[in-house]
Chains A and B, each alone.
Chain A
Amino acid sequence: MRRAHLLGLGFMTPALFIIVFLFLAPVVLTMMFSFTNMSSGTGISSGGAYEVTERTIRLLKDQGFPETTADRLAEDTYKIDAAGLAAVQADFGKAFAQEIEAELSGKSFAGRRDLERELKRLKERPRSTRDLKKAADLFKRSILNTRFETEQAFLTSVDELDLGLGETETAELTRTAYTGWVWTTENYRLIASLPSTLRAAGNTLIYVSFTLAFSIGFGLFLAVTTFYLPSGVATTFRTIWFLPRILPPVIYVMMWKWMAWDTGFLSSFLAHFGVPPRNWMLHSDINAWVVVVLINGFVGASLGMILFSSAIKAIPETMLHASEVDGANRLQQIRYIIMPQLRWPILFTTAYQTLSLLTSFDYIYLSTDGGPGKATEVWALYTFHTALNNYGGVLQYGLGAALAMVLVVIGIAAALIYLRLFNFNDLVAKPRIEQ
């Protein structure tokens, strides 16, 4: 290894360090998470316990578990077994215990009352009703809301309930009762089958295509028109249209809210023409889409305007003068002189914006947050909602990670295509000093 190699790697080290820990590690972790069912319920540390809760029972029923059996899981069962008998012997004496064993051994009861009735018939029973209840309670076996640290302990307790579960049902119960996370490909199956992912994909398509068309078209319009204006006026307009890009998104969207909300400027203005006030941002799906496309489109047009303007400025003055001398009118000049020069910047902007629109969601999150309903929830926002910002309660890290992986794959694929498209090999000319 030559010394310059060491210097080069040394110079790269800080960057590599950050990239490995904050880019590669998260991507690898995301990939791993996407194959788990991690959520805020399971936690993220490995290992979990077995516990049947109300939620477990609900889930079991949803999965087609026999309803009555599921309900039984929630109820107390009274089972005459050795452990209970021993407890009775300790508290109420050997005689009572032996009598119970003789009369009721092996039986189980679905409720305390049934057991109490049986116990009342026994001769050696305690006299007070309170003691009788206490004795009955010694046979109570319940698994509801009890944590079992091992699968073995859990299954033993389930057995005690005498539910008569088959093998598949036992497995299903065990899986559902597990509180930790497990490896699974379920997330990808869900992505393929859930109607909400399909809707998010459709929304993304609408969002990207309309916003892209608007930014490129309007960016071109701004670049070309300001080119023909005196420089002072042009600068003014360019500043007006550049600000959306440079202003913090929170402020920019706040201004839109001021414009569009039911107490906002637009409603107040239209009230003069008898239009009742309404929230123009969220009143209907169409309203929401228009706002979403405009909010993002203005920002996109800013970028387009800047890139196209500098490309137009690079056209030699003489070429434009020549076209005028040749008698071209303004439209012809735009069509035949300016547009051909913009082919490359347009291609670049389209490529760049497609990718960034596909994955950006800040402006939507701040404005409609996917509403009304989920009408404007794009894939990235859907991912974000699923994993990190879910008002429904449980944050589904695993599913969110799987949704994010889809974007990662698209991102890498697009980046590789762009590297070819934009002549990557030209960018990596070898260093001219060969040390």
Chain B
Amino acid sequence: MRPNFRIWPILVLLSILSLPLVLMYFYLVVDTVTDTTAGSLLPDRFTLEHWKFLFEKPETGRASIWPVTANTFLFASSTSLIVVMISLTAGYALSRLNMPFRKFFLGGILTLHAFPTVTLIIAIFLMLQMSGLYNTLIGVILVKTALELPLGIWIMKGFYDTVPWEIEMAGITDGASRFTVWWKLVLPQVQPGIAALALFSFLEAWKEFILPQVLAPSGASQVLATYLQNTIMDDRKPDFNLFKSIGLFYALPVILIYVVFNRKLMNIYGGGTKG
């Protein structure tokens, strides 16, 4: 790019520093279809053995992966849907509407964003037990939604802020109510934001481990994160080839979403975390 600077020293340095990660990624993929003799660094046989878990019920009493995958999908997509729906209205109210306590709400949302899982999870654990939602997917969905909500609202507010005021002014002088203005004129302008937030919340829920682990530990509402972790913790003798196969299966949607929607997501990962 800048010809009077030499590039190769940087290239070499970066490559060396990136080596551990590259090795991890490389073996994450390769180990799922190969076997390696103990003590050796390089795989020596091709096999599909490690992907057996997709088709057979594992002998060790572990659940089949498909209901767990369905749970995870349900968990992630419900969370994403609720977060987006609620952020859509709340973000608009905070960005554009006159209302009492507006400043207080804004500060509150920002402060809540600073609340970490661990400060709430004890009380939530006990609340869910009292309300009978302990060990259900619904409980986990509600809690994850709540934890994602402050950031979601803030991101959505950010997207609304970029819509020109004049569009709304034109709308109301054209005779449309504030609601119609929001529904017909503003929402279409923030569609990229909606997509980005939906993907982001989906990923965050898909990755979540602590909440399902604590709030829904039983088999019926297991998700892939807890399933994989339990598999890793169960085995006396670690079978990394199996872990990696399950792991890759679990990571596939994440990688897919990253590859396809890279630019949309960067909207949030890049600037959206501000605030």
Contact A44 B116 (CB under 8 A): no
Contact A324 B2 (CB under 8 A): yes
Chain A residue nearest to B147 (CB atoms) is A22
A-binding segment of B50-58, B61-69, B105-113, B187-195? B105-113
Chain B residue nearest to A9 (CB atoms) is B99
Q: Give A337-371 interface residues, CB cut-off 8 Å to B.
A: 348, 352, 355-356, 358-362, 365-366
**Contact with B203, one of A44, A230, A246, A427 (Cβ below 8 angstroms):** A246
Q: Counting CB contacts under 8 A, is A153 at the interface?
A: no
Q: Counting CB contacts under 8 A, is A148 at the interface?
A: no
- Residues of chain A lying within 8 A (CB to CB) of residue B209: 248-250, 362, 366
B-binding segment of A102-110, A168-176, A252-260? A252-260
Q: Counting CB contacts under 8 A, is A220 at the interface?
A: no
Q: Counting CB contacts under 8 A, is B70 at the interface?
A: no
B214 to chain A, nearest CB (A): 6
- Residues of chain B lying within 8 A (CB to CB) of residue A231: 1
- Residues of chain A lying within 8 A (CB to CB) of residue B123: 25-27, 29-30, 33, 401
B122 to chain A, nearest CB (A): 5
Contact B24 A324 (CB under 8 A): no
**Contact with A307, one of B106, B207, B270 (Cβ below 8 angstroms):** B270
- Residues of chain A lying within 8 A (CB to CB) of residue B96: 431, 433
**Contact with A11, one of B97, B107, B169 (Cβ below 8 angstroms):** B97
Q: Counting CB contacts under 8 A, is B10 at the interface?
A: yes
**Contact with B25, one of A19, A22, A243, A246 (Cβ below 8 angstroms):** A243
B residues sitting closer than 8 Å to A (CB atoms) are: 1-2, 4-5, 7, 10-11, 13-14, 18, 20-25, 27-28, 38-41, 85-87, 89-90, 92-94, 96-100, 102-103, 105-108, 110-127, 129-130, 142-143, 145-147, 149-150, 153, 165, 168-169, 172, 178-179, 203, 206-207, 209-210, 214, 224-225, 228-229, 232, 238, 240, 243-244, 247, 250-251, 254, 258, 266, 269-271, 273-275
CB-CB under 8 A for A433 and B168, given A229-B10, A230-B1, A388-B122:
yes
* 9 extra A-B contacts, CB within 8 A, seeds A229-B7, A231-B1, A435-B178: A12-B93, A225-B14, A230-B1, A268-B41, A355-B116, A361-B118, A404-B119, A408-B119, A415-B110
Tell me, in angstroms, the Cα distance from A267 to B93 when the chains sit together.
Answer: 56
CB-CB under 8 A for A352 and B273, given A18-B86, A22-B124, A397-B122:
yes
CB-CB under 8 A for A11 and B110, given A27-B123, A254-B228:
no
Q: Give A252-280 interface residues, CB cut-off 8 Å to B.
A: 254-259, 261, 263-265, 268-269, 271
Tell me, in angstroms, the Cα distance from A144 to B142 when the chains sit together.
Answer: 44
- Residues of chain A lying within 8 A (CB to CB) of residue B14: 222, 225-226, 229, 237
Contact A258 B240 (CB under 8 A): yes
CB-CB under 8 A for A407 and B39, given A225-B13, A254-B247, A433-B172:
no
- Residues of chain A lying within 8 A (CB to CB) of residue B120: 22-23, 26-27, 30, 404
Tell me, in angstroms, the Cα distance from A98 to B221 when the chains sit together.
Answer: 67
- Residues of chain B lying within 8 A (CB to CB) of residue A255: 24-25, 27-28, 247
Chain A residue nearest to B171 (CB atoms) is A433
Chain B residue nearest to A271 (CB atoms) is B39
Q: Counting CB contacts under 8 A, is A380 at the interface?
A: yes
Contact B41 A265 (CB under 8 A): yes
A159 to chain B, nearest CB (A): 37
B-binding segment of A189-197, A205-213, A282-290, A416-424? A416-424
Chain B residue nearest to A348 (CB atoms) is B274
Contact A240 B23 (CB under 8 A): no
Tell me, in angstroms, the Cα distance from A435 to B211 when the chains sit together.
Answer: 42
Contact B7 A411 (CB under 8 A): no
- Cβ contacts A to B, 11 pairs, < 8 Å: A14-B85, A14-B90, A16-B90, A255-B27, A258-B27, A268-B40, A359-B118, A384-B118, A388-B121, A418-B110, A433-B98
